[in-house]
Amino acid sequence: MIQLFDYYNQETQDLHDSLLAAGYDCPTIVIEANGFLPDDMISPYTYFLGDEEGADHPLFFNQVPVPPFWEITGDHQSARVSDMGEERARIHYASQAKGRLVKQVDWLDKKGQLRLSERYNKQGRCFAKTAYKSAQEAFNTTYYSTDGQERIVENHATGDIILTLDQEPLRIFKSRVDFIRFFLERLDFDLDYILFNSLAFSFLVSHSLTGRAGKDILFWQEPLYDELPGNMQLILGK
């Protein structure tokens, strides 16, 4: 049995805590590459980057590397990087409850458009960078190992994911679902039951794992609109 979630948010944490209280203490996988996951959760993306050494030491907002003479200012909600009064980056915190600890830095071009996002973890390391073709269109994301090597490259236009592991052949996955399935198989998780809370990638992974003698359980925490989503209709039609 595993818990499989798309994102780590308050709904996910509440469900996870409830399952633990009910005695469902099983591996918990969060698909999103979140550098601030609790110690009892794991992401397929960060797993392949290697073990972080040392105690947690998140980056404080005024420790973000910037060019000489650029200025960092911030409050309890967010921070920004400026060059001669011109905004060049926006700094996002892990959470307001944890103080001004850096989770992501969005770098802007001269027109104020998003061009590069850097993601940091609770060890203060930049472990992933996302390049943008436009402010709303991510082109690719590169994930870096603890020794600074390119480990995973995800092309958001094609969906392809390239995984490079030391002393192993290069692997190319045609979708995120294929990549997650490889991760689950590599770690040899017991997949007799999958507990999930989203009709997005966690559902698609569950749906793709055919031929198993087990049952999966959806804890639906998403908004309900006028019509049931297609994936929900697929579940109910089985």
Residue 29: pLDDT over 70: yes
Residue 166 has pLDDT above 80, yes or no: yes
> Residue 220: inside a domain, yes or no?
yes
Percentage of the residues of the chain whose pLDDT score is greater than 70: 94
The packing angle between helices 176-186 and 201-208, to 10°, is 60
| pLDDT score at 238 | 61
In a domain, 22, yes or no: yes
Q: Is residue 13 domain-resident? A: yes
Instruction: Evaluate whether residue 191 is within a structural domain.
Output: yes
How many separate domains does the chain show?
1
Residue whose C-alpha is closest to residue 201's, from 168, 183, 178: 178
Query: Which pLDDT does position 19 carry in this prediction?
Result: 96
**Tens of pLDDT, residues 97-130:** 678 999 999 999 999 999 999 999 999 999 999 9
Closest-CA residue to 47 (of 34, 60, 58): 34
Instruction: Please indicate, yes or no, if residue 106 is contained in any of the structural domains.
Output: no
Please determine, for residue 213, whether its predicted confidence score (pLDDT) is greater than 70.
no
Amino acid residing at 16: H
Q: Is residue 109 part of a domain?
A: no
**What mean pLDDT is predicted for residues 204-233?**
80
- Would the pLDDT of 158 be above 70? yes
Rounded Cα–Cα distance for residues 196 and 216 (Å): 8
**pLDDT band at 183, cuts 50/70/90?**
very high
pTM for this prediction: 0.91
pLDDT averaged over every residue in the chain: 92
Whether residue 132 is contained in a domain is answered as: yes
Domain extent, residue 143, equals 2-58+121-236
Specify if 150 maps to a domain.
Answer: yes
